[in-house]
């Protein structure tokens, strides 16, 4: 049986392997599930009575996912994600599902805007709900603006929120960035939270969109750029344009 999957738009690269994807899913169940079920979820519910337990719960989640990523022999990368404390909006280009795993493994207490369908996936959906991730239903204007309100509230509470302004992953082989949604930048400007651009490179070579497979040992990179102060921009559109310009510039 052939466990390799070809991605036609990436000529000259080795095929993606469904065996490595199977290994990744197995380690999610073997490492992620016990940590979430036995440690994080009890602390999460305890935080309703003792709010101070949320911080150690977030640290444990990052630590657990960090270990999950460390046991992936297929992953090689250079990760430089320096995130300040307090309410900050993280924005980045979106090349692969791998982007979210890298964020969760390196940013404590991060809350990511994600499509509603992921919240219905067994185990993953439960984990996303109890870790406070932000759902939005694709194609629903009402759901989208409800998600934007949640982002604003979390920023006001001093939480770290991440949005992929492209709102979808790029196609394999795509260069640069796709159009950015302005709404998240409007929330940051209204609240007065800084915007921190993040650049992902080559994650789509490892886990391309539309492929159930992983291409091992393609070096990926994730790094933060200089933060943006919303007060220095006349509009959310200008803030959005500058964040995209900086990410595009870093990708060249």
Structure tokens at 218: 């393609």
Please name the residues in contact with 211: beta carbons below 8 A apart, sequence gap of 6 or more.
5, 7, 16, 172
pLDDT, tens digit, for every residue of 115-168?
Answer: 877 777 666 677 777 778 888 887 788 989 999 999 999 999 999 999 999 999
Residue with tokens 């369908």: 117
pLDDT, tens digit, for every residue of 80-129?
Answer: 888 888 899 999 999 999 999 999 889 988 999 988 777 776 666 777 77
User: Which is more confidently placed, 219 or 45?
Assistant: 219
* pLDDT at residue 7, rounded to an integer: 54
CA distance 96 to 160: 21
Question: Closest Cα partner for 64 from 31, 98, 41, 38?
Answer: 31
Task: Go through the domains of the chain in sequence order and give each one's CATH number.
Answer: 76-251 (3.40.1130.10)
Please name the residues in contact with 49: beta carbons below 8 A apart, sequence gap of 6 or more.
none
Secondary structure of residue 26 in the 3-state scheme: helix
The values of phi and psi at residue 17, to 5°, are -110, 125
Share of the chain above pLDDT 90, in %: 55
The values of phi and psi at residue 200, to 5°, are -110, 135
* pLDDT at residue 1, rounded to an integer: 46
Residue with tokens 């993280």: 90
* pLDDT at residue 124, rounded to an integer: 65
């Amino acid at each position: 049986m052939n466990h390799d999957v070809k991605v036609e738009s990436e000529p000259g690269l080795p095929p993606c392997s469904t065996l490595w994807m199977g290994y990744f899913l197995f380690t999610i169940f073997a490492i992620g599930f016990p940590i979430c079920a036995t440690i994080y979820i009890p602390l999460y519910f305890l935080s309703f009575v003792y709010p101070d337990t949320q911080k150690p719960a977030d640290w444990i989640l990052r630590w657990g996912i960090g270990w999950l990523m460390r046991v992936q022999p297929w992953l090689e990368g250079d990760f430089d994600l320096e995130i300040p404390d307090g309410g900050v909006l993280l924005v980045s280009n979106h090349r692969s599902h791998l982007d979210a795993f890298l964020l969760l493994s390196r940013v404590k207490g991060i809350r990511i805007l994600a499509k509603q369908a992921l919240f219905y996936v067994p185990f993953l959906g439960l984990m996303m709900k109890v870790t406070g991730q932000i759902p939005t239903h694709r194609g629903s204007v009402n759901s989208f603006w409800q998600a934007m309100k949640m982002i604003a509230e979390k920023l006001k509470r001093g939480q770290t929120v991440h949005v992929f302004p492209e709102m979808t992953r790029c196609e394999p082989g795509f260069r640069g960035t796709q159009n950015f949604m302005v709404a998240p930048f409007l929330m940051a400007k209204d609240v007065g939270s800084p915007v921190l651009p993040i650049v992902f490179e080559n994650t789509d070579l490892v886990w391309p969109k539309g492929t159930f497979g992983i291409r091992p040992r393609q070096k990926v990179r994730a790094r933060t750029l200089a933060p943006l102060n919303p007060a220095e921009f006349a509009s959310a559109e200008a803030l959005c344009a500058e964040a995209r310009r900086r990410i595009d510039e870093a990708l060249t």
